[in-house]
Amino acid sequence: MVGNIKLLVYPVKDVEKAKAFYGKFLGIEPCVEGAYYYRL
């Protein structure tokens, strides 16, 4: 099912915690990182 997700937009307060969580949940690292934008 995760392979069907095309876009996930979720506002977070702690970017580092969110990156760790979604990286583990989805099994991938962000392909784009910026001050306000992370693309997995």
Residue written as token pair 């997995």: 40
Per-residue pLDDT band for 40 (boundaries 50, 70, 90) equals low
For the chain, state the CA radius of gyration: 10
By three-state DSSP, how is residue 23 classified?
Answer: helix
Per-residue pLDDT band for 37 (boundaries 50, 70, 90) equals low
10-29 pLDDT, tens digit each: 788 888 898 889 889 888 87
Query: Model pTM?
Result: 0.55
Top-confidence residue, 17 or 39: 17
| Distance separating alpha carbons of residues 40 and 30, to the nearest angstrom | 4
Residue ranges of the domains in the chain?
Answer: 2-39
